[in-house]
Structure 1
């Protein structure tokens, strides 16, 4: 698999990442093992997880496979903290980006992952309740103590990423931000207005999550909701529902038409489009099963023709 650098750093990762949001809940140990094996056999290196995924279950499952399916030093291990650290209160109470919460969470992540350091540690969400300087100081401390080699942020708006990156660049010795993880796909291009230009200007590598539009761009929802899909589960139905509207259906039909003409799958078309967008380092693919993952790994050998990419740009453009 081709390698790319993460932003303006020396960190190199495969240009596709393997996401683990469903691991330990919808993806069991058998499927996770098969998926990890298939991904790394194709040269994939970027493994993305988070303390919030399954309340630590995803990290624990991933940690149990490292050293068995693949050597720890052969992958780039990325995790996140700051989301879901307070219990019992919804909404804002689910976010805690204080120094105490972040570093405590990092230590717990390291235990679950069975390692003494992660390659990339990211703040999962922005919080108005904690001074940004305190949050960023936790990143500095993680790097200074060797628990994280690189740091980044996730789900930040353009101005938030700019403020954080500028703060880190202002004084020598602070850990520069390497990455910005955001949702980005043919069904969600809102980040192109401010986030993408900010990331490019600040030297942050973009790591798009849900590059397949929460699964909708695979075409599986064209005639209804499959019983084995995310939209059929009580905990993920609301996650998929926003992309089952008329606009999304039009984009999906265009993707399917392009796929038919190329002899590709719709997922490969959608993934190739976002993978090769300006500023993108590696889309993170959260396949729920090993079979789903294998069906799209062939995109590594494919290049989306410019005329088709342009046509998809037009049909998916925001008003």
Structure 2
């Protein structure tokens, strides 16, 4: 077991930089460590190595959810807090809303379900508060005012410091953000965690403009196109990849298209020209898109995580960024673009 990390190494040029999360005072590393597979495909030893590697590189932002590996992700992360790293070394983020069990409060965005989910997360994480609590999805069966009242209660209780959402489309994000800012004393939303990469740019239609209007930071999940942008699938499906897993194969397959192949080729060409990896190019591209605060990166092991961290050293030249913008561009029409 690793010794507890009580101090960080001296600053170096390749350490992870930090940004404000939306229009808030919370500063986070501009790369977040995702833990979706912790307690499942990622063992305790691998998770420990990842967390140590991330903290030593200057990372602070760690993201999980109550339903990741049926709660095992939170349990494993909680076991490492205090044992491997001090709680105050990380910005701890988790989520609620997704269905955990069949009980009356086992999922959804009702007041009772959300507050029950929060208590469960705190118990599994072994902490008295989380720094960022995110609504994992919009629940059309519950009035948004009720959902937001639970958010306000969580913050006023001291169990949550900041609140965000995940997978909200443009009108959902604007509705929730407007309600919170229009009522004095209610907690503003600071983030929206959404899929965003060179292969999935749909949020540029309405989500990104809505986030900019309301001062909400974007946290891209699957910033590597579910692994496809690394180029690992160009010549088949590696046996140790998610694409070879019965559980994750459909998830990866969505981005294995002819369009994706053209984009992957462009990313690989850029990487060769820059003397770096396709992973670093793809990650640097999404990291520096307007409104983005911190891509959420999951890794199989510490070695793979170090490759992601190497993107901190990369700033894409304007010509390469423009070429990637062009090859991955999406159609924007009415009403995203006003009539001529």
TM score, norm. by length of structure 1? 0.97
Structure 2 counterpart SS, 1:268: helix
Are residue 40 (structure 1) and residue 39 (structure 2) matched? Answer: no
Structure 1 runs of 4+ aligned residues shifted over 4 Å read none
How much does 1:230 deviate? 0.6
- Match 2:327 to one of 303, 308, 315: 315
Separation of aligned partners in 2, 1:155 and 1:42: 29
Q: Residue 259 of structure 1 corresponds to which residue in structure 2?
A: 271
User: Which of residues 157, 170, 175 in structure 1 aligns to 2:182?
Assistant: 170
Q: 1:94 to 1:107 in 2, by over 3 A?
A: closer
Of 297, 300, 306, 2:312 maps to: 300
Matched, 1:82 2:93: no
1:248 is matched with which residue? 260
Distance 1:98 1:211 in 2: 30
Give 1:87 shift: 3.3
**Could you tell me the TM-score, scaled by structure 2's length?**
0.91
By how many angstroms is 1:296 displaced? 1.7
Unmatched tracts of structure 2, length 5 or more = 1-15, 332-340
Query: Residues 94 and 127 of structure 1: is their aligned pair in 2 closer, same or farther, counting only changes over 3 Å?
Result: farther
Q: Residue 239 of structure 2 aligns with which residue?
A: 227
Q: Deviations over 1:69-94 (max 9, x none)?
A: 21100110000000023439xxxx99
From the CA coordinates, give the structure whose radius of gyration is larger.
2
CA contact (8 A) 2:107 2:113 kept: no
Which has the larger displacement, 289-298 or 209-218?
Answer: 289-298
44, 54, 58: which one aligns with 2:73: 58
Q: Which runs of 5+ in 1 are unaligned?
A: none
1:111-168, Cα deviation, whole Å (9 max, x unpaired): 1111000000000001111111111111000000000000010000011000000000
Residue 159 (structure 2) aligned to one of 119, 143, 147 = 147
For 2:28, which of 13, 19, 29 is the aligned residue? 13
Q: CA RMSD in A?
A: 1.3
The answer to whether the Cα contact below 8 Å between 1:120 and 1:151 also exists between their aligned partners in 2 is: yes
Structure 1 counterpart SS, 2:226: helix
The aligned runs of 1:123-162 (5 Å cut-off) are 123-162=135-174
For the Cα contact (< 8 Å) 1:81–1:106, is it kept in 2?
yes
1:191 aligns with 203
| Aligned residue number for residue 271 of structure 1 | 283
Report how far residue 95 of structure 1 moved: 5.4
Higher helix residue share: 1
Shift of 1:286: 1.1
